[in-house]
Amino acid sequence: MHYWVVPCAPKYQPTRTKMENFTTPLLFVLLCSVFILGHGFSRNLPISSFDEGYSQLFGDDNLIVLKDGKSVHLSLDERTGSGFVSQDLYLHGFFSASIKLPADYTAGVVVAFYMSNGDIFEKNHDEIDFEFLGNIRGKEWRIQTNIYGNGSTNVGREERFGLWFDPSDDFHQYSILWTHTHIIFYVDDVAIREIKRTESMGGDFPSKPMTLYATIWDASEWATNGGKYKVNYKYAPYIAEFSNFVLHGCTVDPIELTSLKCEDATNTNSIPTGITPSQRAKMESFRKKHMQYSYCYDKIRYKAPPSECVINPKEAERLKKFDPVTFGGGRHHGKRHRRGQAAAI
């Protein structure tokens, strides 16, 4: 397992409850954020093998580790989906994988690459999501990003995008940078979304240790045109391919939820420092061309936009041309693998 080496704060003494364990000193959290922000960005990131960083979550033989040990196939068929989970919990870091999505008719299929702690904090979990939404033949995959903090599932912060390439033709890198102050989603090193922590968000910003997940599953009830088009198992198995796993973060003891460890990695000129002016220009160009939905402009869901939203009238007008978006009614990733396990029984 590779981690970034930094002089992070030493282990601190656990207190009696899990929630008390997260009333850590602000300095401690900031030290761990500094380690993430203190480096530039490059492609020279160590790659972990699957067995070094992950374990199978569900799906039986629908998960296949290839002979190189660094690539995995997840498949969905009429029996079950499949998924894997990181072996460690992380509090902040940079997490990435190359993904190639299924081709042809993929309506109702969702491939997810995300962070969650729903199995530890069932009523106040956090999430950081990449979701890939399949489509009917001739229509493109869509990519959706979202966050939840402290169980705030009643306030979805979804944004949905098209892409400038066909994600089923080849592998592309999808990355999450998570720090104490912001979250950035990347596609092939292009920042596509930045979420800054604001005081008004309160606990809605993800702040507790999370595990990394990847799944493929049947979301026929909502994923394609609000459930109009469903998974057609005539085209199964649907296979999502994963490789180039990057796991760089501060690990947290899964029992005490206190022992944060940031081990050394030399030549650390690799993790993004945030968004540079040129990267921001690319991000704004991407969003102008490819964004299809933003929660900030959803007047049906929110009478007033959430506090962190900055309204752009031109953007609001442009987004009107896209079809209405239906979401899964309080669903969250922390339960998905349980659905898959039930389907496999």
Torsion (CA) 209, 212, 218, 220 in degrees, nearest 10:
50
In order, the DSSP letters of 202-256 are: GGGS--S-BEEEEEEEE-TTTTTGGGTS---GGGPPEEEEEEEEEEEEEEE-TTT
d(CA 320, CA 246): 37
pLDDT band at 254 (very low <50, low <70, confident <90, very high): confident
pLDDT score at 187: 97
pLDDT band at 259 (very low <50, low <70, confident <90, very high): low
201 φψ region: left (φ > 0), alpha (ψ -120 to 50), beta (else): alpha
Provide φ and ψ at 290, rounded to 5°: -120, -15
pLDDT score at 30: 39
pLDDT score at 264: 42
Nearest to 155 by CA among 122, 134, 127, 177: 127
What are the C-alpha distances in Å from 47 to residues 1, 29, 31, 53, 279? 9, 26, 25, 10, 24
d(CA 81, CA 134): 14
Question: Do 77 and 62 contact (CB within 8 A), yes or no?
Answer: yes
The single-letter DSSP state of residue 48 is B
Q: Which of 78, 127, 159, 317 is catalytic?
A: 127
The single-letter DSSP state of residue 200 is G
Q: Which of 131, 158, 194, 263 is catalytic?
A: 131
Question: Do 150 and 169 contact (CB within 8 A), yes or no?
Answer: no
* Maximum Cα interatomic distance, the chain, rounded to a whole number of Å: 57
pLDDT score at 152: 85
Question: Do 219 and 333 contact (CB within 8 A), yes or no?
Answer: no
pLDDT at 9 over 80: no
pLDDT score at 315: 92
Catalytic annotation present for 159:
no
Tell me the mean pLDDT in the region 292-302.
Answer: 92
What would the pLDDT profile of 104-163 be if each residue is shown by its tens digit?
A: 999 999 999 999 999 999 889 999 999 999 999 999 999 999 999 998 888 889 999 999
Q: Return mean pLDDT, the chain.
A: 82
- As to burial, measured by CB atoms within 10 angstroms (0-12 exposed, 13-18 middle, 19+ buried), residue 302 is middle
Neighbours of 334 (CB within 10 A): 22
Tell me the mean pLDDT in the region 68-95.
Answer: 96
pTM: 0.84
Nearest to 175 by CA among 185, 190, 160: 185
Neighbours of 77 (CB within 10 A): 17
| Tokens describing residue 132 | 């890939």
Torsion (CA) 81, 86, 89, 93 in degrees, nearest 10:
-110
More confident residue, 217 or 272: 217
pLDDT score at 258: 65
Catalytic annotation present for 131:
yes
Percent above pLDDT 70 for the chain: 77
pLDDT at 5 over 70: no
pLDDT band at 44 (very low <50, low <70, confident <90, very high): low
The region of weakest confidence among 165-179, 236-250, 284-298, 329-343 is 329-343
The region of weakest confidence among 15-29, 90-104, 317-331 is 15-29
